[in-house]
Amino acid sequence: MIHDRAVLAALAVSAFALPAAAQVLDPPERNVRYDATSAISPSSANATVSAATVPQAMERLDRDDATLDVSLGGIYGEGDFGTGSTTTIWSSALGARLRLNDLTLSASLPWMRIRSRSTVFTGIDATPVLVAPNTSAVKRTAEGIGDLTLGAAYTIAPAGSPVEVELSGRAKINTATQRSGLSSGENDYAVGADASLPLGVVTPFVSVTYRFLGDTALYELRDGPAASAGASFALGRDAYLLTSYHYARAATRLVEDAHELFAGASTRLAGTPLRLTGFTTAGLSRGAASFSAGLAVSVGLSRARE
Protein backbone atom coordinates (compact mmCIF):
# COMPACT_ATOMS: atom_id res chain seq x y z
CA MET A 1 0.00 0.00 0.00
CA ILE A 2 2.84 2.41 0.84
CA HIS A 3 4.49 1.49 -2.49
CA ASP A 4 1.27 2.30 -4.40
CA ARG A 5 0.81 5.63 -2.62
CA ALA A 6 4.39 6.69 -3.25
CA VAL A 7 4.21 5.91 -6.96
CA LEU A 8 0.79 7.52 -7.36
CA ALA A 9 2.12 10.65 -5.66
CA ALA A 10 5.07 10.76 -8.05
CA LEU A 11 2.81 10.35 -11.10
CA ALA A 12 0.47 13.07 -9.84
CA VAL A 13 3.30 15.51 -9.20
CA SER A 14 4.71 14.84 -12.69
CA ALA A 15 1.35 15.31 -14.40
CA PHE A 16 0.77 18.72 -12.82
CA ALA A 17 4.33 19.98 -12.48
CA LEU A 18 5.50 19.41 -16.06
CA PRO A 19 2.90 21.61 -17.79
CA ALA A 20 3.25 24.25 -15.04
CA ALA A 21 7.01 24.33 -15.39
CA ALA A 22 6.77 24.65 -19.15
CA GLN A 23 4.42 27.64 -18.81
CA VAL A 24 6.84 29.40 -16.46
CA LEU A 25 9.93 28.75 -18.58
CA ASP A 26 8.39 29.44 -22.00
CA PRO A 27 6.56 32.53 -23.27
CA PRO A 28 2.79 32.14 -23.78
CA GLU A 29 3.09 32.48 -27.58
CA ARG A 30 6.00 30.08 -28.03
CA ASN A 31 6.38 28.45 -31.44
CA VAL A 32 6.36 24.71 -30.90
CA ARG A 33 7.46 22.45 -33.76
CA TYR A 34 5.58 19.18 -33.47
CA ASP A 35 6.08 16.68 -36.29
CA ALA A 36 2.89 14.73 -36.92
CA THR A 37 4.30 12.97 -39.98
CA SER A 38 6.36 10.35 -38.14
CA ALA A 39 5.69 7.29 -35.99
CA ILE A 40 7.36 6.60 -32.62
CA SER A 41 8.08 3.65 -30.29
CA PRO A 42 5.38 0.98 -30.68
CA SER A 43 5.87 -0.28 -27.11
CA SER A 44 6.33 2.99 -25.22
CA ALA A 45 9.27 1.05 -23.70
CA ASN A 46 6.95 -1.53 -22.20
CA ALA A 47 7.84 -5.22 -21.93
CA THR A 48 6.62 -5.75 -25.49
CA VAL A 49 4.18 -4.30 -27.99
CA SER A 50 0.43 -4.70 -27.66
CA ALA A 51 -2.79 -4.18 -29.58
CA ALA A 52 -3.11 -0.86 -27.74
CA THR A 53 0.39 0.62 -28.07
CA VAL A 54 1.09 -0.10 -31.76
CA PRO A 55 -1.82 1.85 -33.34
CA GLN A 56 -1.13 4.76 -30.98
CA ALA A 57 2.50 4.87 -32.14
CA MET A 58 1.40 4.98 -35.78
CA GLU A 59 -1.23 7.71 -35.32
CA ARG A 60 0.50 10.95 -34.24
CA LEU A 61 -1.91 13.54 -32.88
CA ASP A 62 -1.78 17.18 -34.00
CA ARG A 63 -0.77 19.60 -31.27
CA ASP A 64 -2.85 22.50 -32.61
CA ASP A 65 -6.19 20.69 -32.39
CA ALA A 66 -8.23 19.07 -29.68
CA THR A 67 -7.83 15.53 -30.99
CA LEU A 68 -9.52 12.27 -30.00
CA ASP A 69 -8.17 8.96 -31.27
CA VAL A 70 -9.84 5.55 -30.79
CA SER A 71 -8.32 2.20 -31.76
CA LEU A 72 -9.27 -1.47 -31.72
CA GLY A 73 -6.67 -4.15 -32.31
CA GLY A 74 -5.86 -7.80 -31.84
CA ILE A 75 -2.62 -9.76 -31.43
CA TYR A 76 -1.65 -13.43 -31.23
CA GLY A 77 1.66 -14.59 -29.77
CA GLU A 78 3.27 -17.83 -28.70
CA GLY A 79 6.51 -19.20 -27.29
CA ASP A 80 7.83 -21.82 -24.88
CA PHE A 81 9.88 -19.29 -22.85
CA GLY A 82 12.47 -22.01 -22.28
CA THR A 83 10.00 -24.38 -20.63
CA GLY A 84 9.46 -26.99 -23.36
CA SER A 85 5.71 -26.22 -23.31
CA THR A 86 4.12 -23.68 -25.66
CA THR A 87 2.23 -20.74 -24.20
CA THR A 88 -0.36 -19.06 -26.46
CA ILE A 89 -1.69 -15.57 -25.88
CA TRP A 90 -4.64 -14.00 -27.69
CA SER A 91 -5.33 -10.36 -26.89
CA SER A 92 -7.53 -7.58 -28.19
CA ALA A 93 -7.60 -4.05 -26.82
CA LEU A 94 -9.76 -0.97 -27.06
CA GLY A 95 -7.70 2.19 -26.75
CA ALA A 96 -8.46 5.91 -26.64
CA ARG A 97 -6.38 9.09 -26.47
CA LEU A 98 -7.28 12.75 -26.04
CA ARG A 99 -4.68 15.40 -26.92
CA LEU A 100 -5.02 18.97 -25.64
CA ASN A 101 -2.06 21.10 -26.74
CA ASP A 102 1.02 19.33 -25.31
CA LEU A 103 -0.89 17.08 -22.91
CA THR A 104 -2.17 13.64 -23.96
CA LEU A 105 -4.45 11.46 -21.84
CA SER A 106 -4.88 7.78 -22.72
CA ALA A 107 -6.72 4.64 -21.67
CA SER A 108 -6.76 1.02 -22.82
CA LEU A 109 -8.76 -2.04 -21.80
CA PRO A 110 -7.93 -5.54 -23.08
CA TRP A 111 -9.67 -8.85 -23.50
CA MET A 112 -7.14 -11.68 -23.16
CA ARG A 113 -6.96 -15.45 -23.46
CA ILE A 114 -3.81 -17.09 -22.10
CA ARG A 115 -3.27 -20.85 -22.32
CA SER A 116 -0.15 -22.01 -20.51
CA ARG A 117 1.44 -24.19 -17.85
CA SER A 118 3.21 -21.07 -16.59
CA THR A 119 2.00 -18.08 -14.58
CA VAL A 120 1.32 -15.11 -16.88
CA PHE A 121 -0.54 -11.92 -15.91
CA THR A 122 -1.88 -8.99 -17.90
CA GLY A 123 0.43 -5.97 -17.59
CA ILE A 124 0.55 -2.29 -18.45
CA ASP A 125 -1.13 -1.48 -21.78
CA ALA A 126 -2.40 -5.07 -22.19
CA THR A 127 1.10 -6.57 -22.39
CA PRO A 128 1.65 -10.05 -20.89
CA VAL A 129 3.91 -10.37 -17.83
CA LEU A 130 5.64 -13.76 -17.49
CA VAL A 131 6.11 -14.48 -13.77
CA ALA A 132 7.07 -18.14 -13.32
CA PRO A 133 7.51 -21.16 -15.65
CA ASN A 134 5.82 -24.57 -15.34
CA THR A 135 3.69 -23.78 -12.31
CA SER A 136 1.07 -26.31 -13.39
CA ALA A 137 1.32 -29.93 -14.55
CA VAL A 138 -1.27 -29.25 -17.27
CA LYS A 139 -2.13 -26.23 -19.38
CA ARG A 140 -4.64 -23.85 -17.85
CA THR A 141 -6.73 -21.24 -19.67
CA ALA A 142 -7.23 -17.75 -18.26
CA GLU A 143 -9.54 -15.45 -20.19
CA GLY A 144 -11.71 -12.40 -19.83
CA ILE A 145 -11.46 -8.63 -19.50
CA GLY A 146 -7.99 -7.66 -18.32
CA ASP A 147 -6.75 -4.71 -16.27
CA LEU A 148 -7.40 -1.10 -17.27
CA THR A 149 -4.40 1.15 -18.06
CA LEU A 150 -4.58 4.93 -17.68
CA GLY A 151 -1.84 7.24 -18.88
CA ALA A 152 -0.75 10.86 -19.26
CA ALA A 153 2.05 12.28 -21.41
CA TYR A 154 3.52 15.72 -21.99
CA THR A 155 5.31 16.62 -25.24
CA ILE A 156 8.25 19.02 -25.36
CA ALA A 157 9.09 20.13 -28.91
CA PRO A 158 10.55 23.66 -28.99
CA ALA A 159 11.21 25.29 -32.35
CA GLY A 160 14.88 25.77 -31.54
CA SER A 161 15.59 22.08 -31.04
CA PRO A 162 15.41 19.21 -33.57
CA VAL A 163 14.57 16.70 -30.84
CA GLU A 164 11.04 15.96 -29.64
CA VAL A 165 10.65 14.55 -26.12
CA GLU A 166 7.59 12.99 -24.53
CA LEU A 167 7.46 12.43 -20.75
CA SER A 168 4.86 9.92 -19.61
CA GLY A 169 3.34 8.13 -16.65
CA ARG A 170 1.00 5.13 -16.72
CA ALA A 171 -0.94 3.10 -14.19
CA LYS A 172 -2.40 -0.38 -14.65
CA ILE A 173 -5.41 -0.61 -12.38
CA ASN A 174 -6.58 -3.96 -11.01
CA THR A 175 -9.99 -4.22 -12.68
CA ALA A 176 -9.95 -7.85 -13.90
CA THR A 177 -11.96 -10.33 -11.88
CA GLN A 178 -10.13 -12.86 -9.71
CA ARG A 179 -12.11 -15.59 -11.45
CA SER A 180 -10.53 -14.73 -14.83
CA GLY A 181 -7.05 -15.60 -13.56
CA LEU A 182 -5.57 -12.79 -15.67
CA SER A 183 -4.57 -10.24 -13.04
CA SER A 184 -1.90 -10.20 -10.36
CA GLY A 185 -4.49 -8.49 -8.18
CA GLU A 186 -2.16 -5.51 -7.74
CA ASN A 187 -1.60 -2.20 -9.51
CA ASP A 188 1.47 -1.57 -11.70
CA TYR A 189 3.01 1.78 -12.64
CA ALA A 190 5.52 3.15 -15.14
CA VAL A 191 7.28 6.46 -15.77
CA GLY A 192 9.30 7.10 -18.90
CA ALA A 193 10.59 9.30 -21.68
CA ASP A 194 10.53 9.00 -25.48
CA ALA A 195 12.85 11.03 -27.71
CA SER A 196 12.60 11.27 -31.50
CA LEU A 197 14.55 13.17 -34.15
CA PRO A 198 12.67 13.83 -37.41
CA LEU A 199 15.13 13.73 -40.33
CA GLY A 200 12.98 14.12 -43.40
CA VAL A 201 11.23 10.82 -44.11
CA VAL A 202 13.23 8.97 -41.42
CA THR A 203 12.62 9.43 -37.69
CA PRO A 204 14.94 7.57 -35.31
CA PHE A 205 13.65 7.22 -31.74
CA VAL A 206 14.62 5.86 -28.34
CA SER A 207 12.37 5.17 -25.37
CA VAL A 208 13.17 4.36 -21.73
CA THR A 209 10.76 3.40 -18.97
CA TYR A 210 11.03 2.28 -15.36
CA ARG A 211 8.27 -0.09 -14.24
CA PHE A 212 6.97 -0.58 -10.70
CA LEU A 213 5.25 -3.99 -10.45
CA GLY A 214 2.95 -4.86 -7.56
CA ASP A 215 3.90 -7.95 -5.52
CA THR A 216 1.47 -10.84 -5.20
CA ALA A 217 0.90 -13.19 -2.27
CA LEU A 218 3.14 -15.81 -3.95
CA TYR A 219 5.65 -13.75 -5.94
CA GLU A 220 7.82 -10.73 -5.26
CA LEU A 221 7.91 -8.98 -8.61
CA ARG A 222 10.95 -6.93 -9.58
CA ASP A 223 10.77 -3.27 -10.52
CA GLY A 224 13.06 -2.45 -13.39
CA PRO A 225 13.77 -0.79 -16.72
CA ALA A 226 12.46 -1.35 -20.21
CA ALA A 227 13.76 0.29 -23.36
CA SER A 228 13.32 0.42 -27.12
CA ALA A 229 15.12 1.97 -30.08
CA GLY A 230 14.33 2.08 -33.78
CA ALA A 231 13.20 4.23 -36.66
CA SER A 232 10.09 4.99 -38.68
CA PHE A 233 10.06 5.62 -42.42
CA ALA A 234 7.36 7.83 -43.92
CA LEU A 235 5.83 6.78 -47.24
CA GLY A 236 4.08 10.03 -48.03
CA ARG A 237 2.15 11.71 -45.22
CA ASP A 238 -0.26 8.90 -44.34
CA ALA A 239 1.78 5.69 -44.49
CA TYR A 240 4.72 4.43 -42.42
CA LEU A 241 7.10 1.54 -42.04
CA LEU A 242 8.59 1.02 -38.58
CA THR A 243 11.26 -1.28 -37.16
CA SER A 244 12.63 -1.44 -33.62
CA TYR A 245 14.35 -3.43 -30.89
CA HIS A 246 12.80 -3.91 -27.43
CA TYR A 247 14.22 -4.92 -24.04
CA ALA A 248 12.56 -5.43 -20.66
CA ARG A 249 13.88 -6.68 -17.33
CA ALA A 250 12.22 -9.93 -16.23
CA ALA A 251 9.47 -9.61 -13.61
CA THR A 252 11.10 -12.33 -11.46
CA ARG A 253 14.42 -14.17 -11.27
CA LEU A 254 12.59 -17.30 -12.44
CA VAL A 255 12.49 -16.09 -16.05
CA GLU A 256 14.89 -14.37 -18.45
CA ASP A 257 14.91 -10.76 -19.60
CA ALA A 258 12.97 -10.08 -22.80
CA HIS A 259 14.68 -9.12 -26.06
CA GLU A 260 12.71 -8.87 -29.31
CA LEU A 261 12.54 -7.28 -32.76
CA PHE A 262 9.48 -5.48 -34.16
CA ALA A 263 8.35 -4.60 -37.68
CA GLY A 264 5.13 -2.87 -38.67
CA ALA A 265 3.38 -0.99 -41.47
CA SER A 266 0.50 1.46 -41.30
CA THR A 267 -1.58 3.40 -43.81
CA ARG A 268 -4.64 5.58 -43.81
CA LEU A 269 -7.48 4.12 -45.88
CA ALA A 270 -8.13 6.44 -48.82
CA GLY A 271 -11.18 8.63 -48.46
CA THR A 272 -11.77 7.69 -44.81
CA PRO A 273 -10.52 8.77 -41.36
CA LEU A 274 -9.50 5.16 -40.68
CA ARG A 275 -5.92 3.92 -40.29
CA LEU A 276 -5.01 0.24 -40.75
CA THR A 277 -1.88 -1.14 -39.03
CA GLY A 278 -0.26 -4.58 -39.25
CA PHE A 279 2.75 -5.71 -37.22
CA THR A 280 4.85 -8.66 -36.06
CA THR A 281 7.57 -9.45 -33.50
CA ALA A 282 10.37 -12.02 -33.27
CA GLY A 283 11.78 -13.06 -29.90
CA LEU A 284 15.55 -12.99 -29.33
CA SER A 285 15.52 -14.52 -25.83
CA ARG A 286 13.57 -17.04 -23.77
CA GLY A 287 11.99 -14.16 -21.90
CA ALA A 288 10.07 -13.07 -25.02
CA ALA A 289 7.44 -14.73 -27.20
CA SER A 290 8.94 -16.62 -30.15
CA PHE A 291 6.72 -14.58 -32.46
CA SER A 292 3.56 -12.52 -32.48
CA ALA A 293 1.43 -10.84 -35.14
CA GLY A 294 -1.39 -8.37 -34.95
CA LEU A 295 -3.76 -6.04 -36.77
CA ALA A 296 -5.39 -2.81 -35.61
CA VAL A 297 -7.70 -0.14 -36.93
CA SER A 298 -7.86 3.40 -35.56
CA VAL A 299 -9.79 6.58 -36.24
CA GLY A 300 -8.89 10.15 -35.36
CA LEU A 301 -11.36 12.96 -34.75
CA SER A 302 -10.16 16.53 -34.33
CA ARG A 303 -11.68 19.92 -33.56
CA ALA A 304 -9.68 22.92 -34.65
CA ARG A 305 -9.30 25.62 -32.00
CA GLU A 306 -10.77 29.06 -32.61
Q: What is the pLDDT of residues 239-294, one digit of tens each?
A: 989 999 999 999 999 999 999 999 999 999 988 989 999 999 999 999 999 999 99
Quick one: which of 63, 78, 45 has its CA closest to 227?
Answer: 45
| Mean per-residue pLDDT, 89-97 | 93
Structure confidence at residue 64 (pLDDT): 56
Task: Measure the CA angle with vertex 232, ends 60 and 14; round to 5°.
Answer: 50
Residue 135 backbone dihedrals phi, psi, to 5 degrees: -90, 0
* Three state DSSP letters for the chain: CHHHHHHHHHHHHHHHHHHHHHHHHCCCCCCECCCCCCCCCCCCCCCCCCCCHHHHHHCCCCCCEEEEEEEEEEEEEEECCCCCCCEEEEEEEEEEEEEECCEEEEEEEEEEEEEECCEEEECHHHCEEEEECCCCCCCEEEEEECCEEEEEEEEECECCCCCEEEEEEEEEECCCCHHHCCCCCCCEEEEEEEEECCECCEEEEEEEEEEECCCCCCCCCCCEEEEEEEEEEECCCCEEEEEEEEEECCCCCCCCCEEEEEEEEEEECCCCCEEEEEEEEEECCCCCCCEEEEEEEEEEEEEECC
Position 178 confidence tier, pLDDT thresholds 50, 70, 90: confident
Note the residue count of the chain: 306
Structure confidence at residue 298 (pLDDT): 93
Structure confidence at residue 179 (pLDDT): 84
Q: Please state, in angstroms and rounded to a whole number, the distance separating the CA atoms of residues 306 and 304.
A: 7
Structure confidence at residue 82 (pLDDT): 84
Q: Is 2-304 assigned to CATH 1.10.260.30? A: no
Q: Please state, in angstroms and rounded to a whole number, the distance separating the CA atoms of residues 129 and 254.
A: 12
| Domain coordinates in residue numbering, the chain | 2-304
Structure confidence at residue 274 (pLDDT): 93
Structure confidence at residue 43 (pLDDT): 66
Structure confidence at residue 115 (pLDDT): 94
Structure confidence at residue 13 (pLDDT): 41
Structure confidence at residue 210 (pLDDT): 95
Structure confidence at residue 151 (pLDDT): 94
- Mean residue pLDDT across the chain: 83
Position 303 confidence tier, pLDDT thresholds 50, 70, 90: low
pTM, entire model = 0.82
Q: Which amino acid is at 12?
A: A
Indicate whether 306 pLDDT > 50. no
| Mean per-residue pLDDT, 164-189 | 91
Indicate whether 98 pLDDT > 70. yes
Q: What is the pLDDT of residues 129-164, one digit of tens each?
A: 889 998 998 999 999 999 999 999 999 987 788 899
Q: In sequence order, which residues have a C-beta less than 8 Å from that of residue 159 and are 6 or more positions away?
A: 30, 31, 32, 33
Structure confidence at residue 159 (pLDDT): 78
Q: What is the pLDDT of residues 40-85, one digit of tens each?
A: 677 665 667 888 888 888 776 555 566 888 999 999 999 998 888 9
Quick one: which of 33, 37, 35 has its CA closest to 238?
Answer: 37
| Mean per-residue pLDDT, 106-121 | 93
Indicate whether 215 pLDDT > 50. yes
